[in-house]
Chains A and B, each alone.
Chain A
Amino acid sequence: MTLDNKYGVPTVALHTHVFEKVVESVNRVHGMPRAPRAFVPQPVMGKTAAQLRAYIEGKDPITGRPVMQEVIEGLTQPIDDAEILNEKLAYAATPRLVDADSEDNLQQMFLDKNWTDKLPIVLPTEKRVKEMLAHTSHKPDEVVGHMRSTHFRDYWEYTVEKVAVNAVMAGARPEYFPVILALASTGVTARGSTSSSAAAMVVVNGPIRNEIKMNSGTGAMGPFNHANATIGRAYGLLSQNGQGSSVPGVTYMGSQGNNYAYNNVTFAENEERSPWTPFHVEQGFKPTDSTVSVFTGCRSTAFTLGVRETYWREHVRSMLRGLDAHSQPTFLLDPITARQFIDRGGFDTKEKLIEWAYENSLMAAKEYWDYQLIQNYILPRATFGEEPYASKLKAAPDEMVHIFKAKEIHVIVVGGETNGYWRIMDCNYQKTVSVDKWR
């Protein structure tokens, strides 16, 4: 679209057919609803040259017209500019209130409009929203942030009041509101539209954990604590509504979906039982600061029990190798396991464990570069000189290369010491922000 509109080069975009509604929607929000395009069948990935040629010589599965006829017409047939510029492209305004004749019908309206996660919500009445707003010093009309579901869309805006509405819907108590506002202020969506079906993860640190009775111990990542459950749910609802929508096939394209997204793996770090520095202090905050940290891209989890005396290195290497090469591993360690890592490996700081994990995550270069996500997202950066990828690209096919970057590996302590189970979550650290600022 940029090439066509900004650089004046007539352009046709080719897409796979499952993205029809996305393409239509994205073209529209960019003010070019008639930008020429054609569709070929999904998938392109993994097809032979002959199969791809058949796509090109075949028909557009959306329109039923020959693909190449559409491509050539898209480059040569005049487009009526005056007609485009007169089209009504604006989004509908967002009224402050919506109504219905019963609570049941309001619940149904919220479901029908895709404003929920398909579980019942608490209706955001004026009274409930006002109670939520009473737990921050910030004014209701203050803009908290902006979100969008993908790189290809424009940002939507939300205020303190909008965050409060979604917090009420999630069932959050007013005293949780500063944490939810802090999450909203990150601008990081928990409803990204990646076809990889990623969810978010939320880690709370500092005094607020105990003030609002968050769980960092037994069952911390499960459905057993009101604050953990509803703060994470509020973040998800705020994301999908704050960014306009999260509708499968239009603004959400996660192929398989992800049930981590119901509450975005929200928990508190077990600072009291951890032998190491709390996560927020590693990020430059004081121990007495209350913070929330956001991770995205949560898809896969590897787990095991304990850190065995003889073969723990092999076990951990196998867990790391089980992640996609484009992952960023975060160790989620029960306090028992954290202390075992100190006993077995001498890792008296998180940094030492991270460095060990980095040094021991290795793969043959030929295998690394063949991963589809590495091809999509790392190879382009490597071929145009970005380090450390450019150097890694020079490795001989059988040379062992580091899979991850040390700075992208993280360690968090959580769990109630009922046993030494632990996990590695594949997720991307985004940022840590102050909760205190939103009190």
Chain B
Amino acid sequence: MSTEKLAVLNPVGYPPKITAKQLAPRLDSLDGKTVYLVDPRFDDSGLFLRQLQSWFADNMPSVKTKFIEMNNVYTKDDPVTWEKIKADGDAAIVGVGH
């Protein structure tokens, strides 16, 4: 019985190179820290984050939360907002997006 293989061309493109990236050092604790709640302005995400803000007020009052909307649609980078959070905050929660 023949074991000859039939070969054809692969239709898949060439992938990008992936470079592993470091994440920011995590905080020891959220006590007394400022956490930005970043609204990507997608599908009622702002309403969700307002409830998250309320949860922190009720359950972790030592955490200061700041609600901030992205400057544009969520598909665009937003360096102005990122710089503001970096200068004025300790951590961030982004949501809810895809």
Contact = CB atoms under 8 A, between A and B. Distances in A.
A53 B94 contact: no
B16 A97 contact: no
B9 A97 contact: yes
A56 B29 contact: no
B82 A7 contact: yes
Interface residues of B, number: 67
B98 A195 contact: yes
A195 B98 CA distance: 9
B26 A76 contact: yes
B20 A31 contact: yes
B32 interface: no
Contacts of B35: 75
B43 A14 contact: no
B62 to A, nearest CB: 12
Interface string B2-34: 011111111111111111111111111110000
Contact of A157 (B9, B10, B13): B13
Nearest to B5: A99
Contact of A5 (B9, B22, B86): B22
A106 B6 contact: yes
Main secondary structure of the interface of B (DSSP, over half): loop
A156 B16 CA distance: 6
A10 interface: yes
A174 interface: no
Given A12-B93, A376-B43, A4 B28 contact: no
B69 to A, nearest CB: 7
Given A31-B18, A377-B73, A68 B9 contact: no
Interface size class of A (residues with CB under 8 A): 35 or more
A281 interface: no
Given A5-B22, A162-B11, A56 B55 contact: yes
B19 A31 contact: yes
Contact of B96 (A3, A16, A96, A169): A16
Given A13-B94, A76-B29, A101-B3, A95 B82 contact: no
A31 B9 contact: no
Contacts of B6: 99-103, 106, 123
Contacts of B50: 49
Interface in A379-437: 379-381, 383-384
Interface string B62-95: 0000000111111101000011011001111111
A46 interface: yes
Residue among B19, B38, B45, B51 facing the most chain A CB atoms (10 A cut-off): B51
A385 to B, nearest CB: 10
Nearest to B42: A376
Given A14-B93, A115-B11, A115-B12, A5 B21 contact: yes
Contacts of B89: 9
Interface of B: 3-30, 35-36, 38, 41-45, 47-48, 50-52, 54-55, 59-60, 69-75, 77, 82-83, 85-86, 89-98
A94 B10 contact: yes
A97 B13 CA distance: 13
18 contacts: A8-B86, A10-B23, A10-B26, A11-B91, A12-B93, A14-B48, A30-B18, A31-B18, A31-B21, A72-B30, A74-B26, A75-B26, A79-B26, A91-B16, A115-B11, A156-B14, A241-B13, A244-B15
Given A29-B18, A166-B11, 11 more contacts: A4-B24, A43-B43, A53-B54, A56-B51, A75-B27, A78-B26, A100-B5, A101-B3, A101-B5, A156-B13, A158-B14
Interface string A167-183: 00100000000000000
Contacts of A96: 9-10
Contact of A49 (B8, B51, B96): B51
A85 interface: yes
Contacts of A40: 48, 95-96
A44 B51 CA distance: 12
A250 interface: no
Contact of A77 (B26, B72, B90, B94): B26
Given A75-B35, A99-B5, A45 B20 contact: no
A123 to B, nearest CB: 5
A106 B9 CA distance: 11
A3 B72 contact: no
B43 A44 contact: yes
A132 B16 CA distance: 26
B14 A10 contact: no
Nearest to A1: B21
Contacts of A356: none
A89 B13 contact: no
Contact of A243 (B3, B13, B71, B92): B13
Given A15-B98, A97-B8, A10 B25 contact: yes
Given A95-B10, A376-B43, A44 B16 contact: no
